[in-house]
């Protein structure tokens, strides 16, 4: 859009702002930003207000545990800059925390008392990191990894000779471990569960990932929870102290539900929504990490904390908000980059069932398919993106696949996805 068109759009938008409350989106992360784009893309001509608690324009969050940790001064990738949002006719309101709302009055309220009326409301407030008070009380710095500032602060600690203790053996913890050893630091991962990534990966893949980290010099303390810290490091169950100069806590997140509760929305782990993003409250929608929906691949209601879900669920909810009902039915999908490994996961890869290997893990390139009832309900690929392209379609469609076909690298998965 050229500057003249942008000014024209701005004039139209200003007129609409004076006439109607329009669409209000609370949460300016991936879900909120993509929803704002989708609302305008659906042809909606009214006011769009995007309210975020952070002082920044909306940005891509996956970079925080990847490029931002791996490269000094890596640029932060914004979804759009201020001029881009103005050209789209979206009012971005940063550094503003919405704390309550009134569904009857159709209004949300910031902690400084400002009110934002809405016709339609999307809650995309996301999550906050879980805390470990016992570990946080002590002389060593304890860092989460949720914001630009968090990632930049952690990057400053990653240097040769620095001892990094990472509490939590999930995706974020392992990406931090990989970044730490690449920077010349040492890394120890402390995980209360007996294994890594038990909710995301089948054991054969989790063991492969653990072995790769160990070859890079990462050490693990599994099945032993942290109980405190001292100047010497992190104290864990059994009386051991893991030497550390800095502690990173990555033990999951909690959804930001205060606004939804104040509006009377139904809660089930997160804000319960249907496949179009509708909540139990009229004119109120939710999307992204804060929302929960029934996931047929897992057989239960879940919050899905992935970049793809935040983006695509938000786009569907946004279009539904402005009268173009759109269902979002994609299976969960995410990726992780660790060393030279690209790991992608779709569906419920860790479900009980038959795990079939496609390829040899010893080569560093393989897939693991989880079969139940003659269909693929989940899969993991390691450095095999072509497999994943077909597997995402297979899981979504519920097409039949035998164990023999799944394990045969000569069998074309694309045919199974379309038969």
* Tens digit of each residue's pLDDT, the chain (419 residues): 344 434 433 433 343 343 368 999 999 999 999 999 999 999 999 999 999 999 999 999 999 999 999 988 899 999 999 999 999 999 999 999 999 999 999 999 999 999 999 999 999 999 999 999 999 999 999 999 999 999 999 999 999 999 999 999 999 999 999 999 999 999 999 999 999 999 999 999 999 999 999 999 999 999 999 999 999 999 999 999 999 999 999 999 999 999 999 999 999 999 999 999 999 999 999 999 999 999 988 889 999 999 999 999 999 999 999 999 999 999 999 999 999 999 999 999 999 889 999 999 999 999 999 999 899 999 999 999 999 999 999 999 998 999 999 999 999 998 888 77
Architecture of domain 3-128+253-321: 3-Layer(bba) Sandwich (3.50)
Name beta bridge partners: 222: 191
Helix (H) or strand (E) holding 29: none
Sequence-ordered list of residues with C-beta below 8 angstroms from that of 49, at least 6 positions apart, any chain: 22, 23, 24, 25, 90, 91, 93, 116, 118
Cβ proximity of 236 and 226 under 8 Å: yes
d(CA 117, CA 370): 47
Q: CA-to-CA distance for 144 and 168, rounded, in angstroms? A: 11
| All structural domains of the chain with their residue ranges | 3-128+253-321, 131-249, 340-418
Q: How far is CA 63 from the centre of its chain?
A: 11
Q: Which of 30, 28, 45 is nearest to 88 (CA)?
A: 45
pLDDT, residue 6, reads 40
Q: What CA–CA distance (Å, rounded) separates 166 from 69?
A: 14
| E strands present in 124-218 | 127-129, 142-143, 163-167, 186-191
Token duo for residue 13: 């938008």
Which residue is listed with tokens 């929302």?
Answer: 291
Would 3-128+253-321 and 131-249 be classified into the same CATH topology?
A: yes
Give the CATH architecture of domain 131-249.
3-Layer(bba) Sandwich (3.50)
**CATH 1.20.1050.10 assigned to 340-418:** no
Answer yes or no: are the C-beta atoms of 68 and 314 closer than 8 Å.
no
């Amino acid at each position: 859009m050229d500057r003249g068109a942008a000014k024209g759009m701005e004039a139209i938008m200003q007129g609409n702002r004076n006439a109607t409350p329009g669409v209000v989106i609370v949460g300016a992360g991936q879900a909120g930003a993509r929803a704002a784009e989708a609302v305008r893309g659906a042809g909606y001509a009214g006011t769009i207000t995007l309210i975020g608690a952070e002082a920044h324009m909306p940005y891509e969050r996956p970079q925080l545990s990847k490029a931002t940790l791996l490269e000094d001064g890596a640029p932060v990738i914004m979804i759009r800059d201020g001029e881009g949002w103005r050209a789209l006719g979206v009012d971005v309101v940063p550094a503003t925390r919405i704390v309550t709302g009134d569904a009857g009055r159709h209004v949300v309220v910031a902690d400084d008392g400002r009110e934002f009326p809405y016709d339609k409301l999307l809650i995309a407030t996301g999550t906050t990191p879980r805390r470990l008070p016992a570990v946080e009380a002590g002389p060593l710095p304890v860092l989460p990894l949720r914001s630009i500032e968090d990632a930049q602060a952690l990057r400053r600690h990653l240097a040769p000779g620095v001892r990094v203790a990472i509490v939590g053996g999930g995706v974020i913890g392992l990406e931090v471990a990989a970044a730490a050893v690449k920077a010349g630091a040492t890394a120890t991962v402390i995980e209360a569960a007996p294994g890594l990534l038990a909710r995301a990966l089948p054991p054969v893949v989790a063991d492969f990932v653990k072995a790769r980290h160990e070859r890079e010099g990462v050490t693990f303390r599994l099945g032993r929870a942290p109980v405190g810290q001292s100047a010497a490091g992190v104290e864990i169950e059994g009386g051991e102290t893991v030497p550390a100069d800095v502690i990173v806590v990555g033990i999951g997140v909690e959804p930001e539900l205060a606004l939804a509760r104040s509006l009377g929305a139904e809660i089930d782990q997160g804000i319960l929504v249907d496949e179009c993003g509708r909540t139990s409250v009229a004119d109120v929608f939710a999307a992204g990490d804060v929302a929960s929906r029934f996931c047929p691949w897992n057989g239960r209601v879940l919050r899905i904390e992935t970049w793809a879900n935040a983006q695509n669920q938000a786009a569907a909810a946004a279009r539904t908000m402005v009268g173009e009902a759109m269902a979002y039915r994609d299976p969960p999908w995410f990726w992780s980059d660790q060393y030279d490994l690209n790991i992608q996961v779709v569906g419920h890869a860790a479900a009980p069932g038959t795990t079939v290997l496609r390829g040899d893990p010893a080569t560093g390139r393989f897939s693991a398919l989880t079969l139940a009832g003659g269909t693929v309900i989940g899969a993991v690929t390691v450095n095999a993106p072509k497999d994943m392209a077909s597997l995402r379609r297979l899981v979504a469609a519920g097409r039949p696949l035998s164990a023999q076909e799944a394990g045969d690298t000569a069998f074309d998965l694309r045919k199974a996805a379309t038969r």
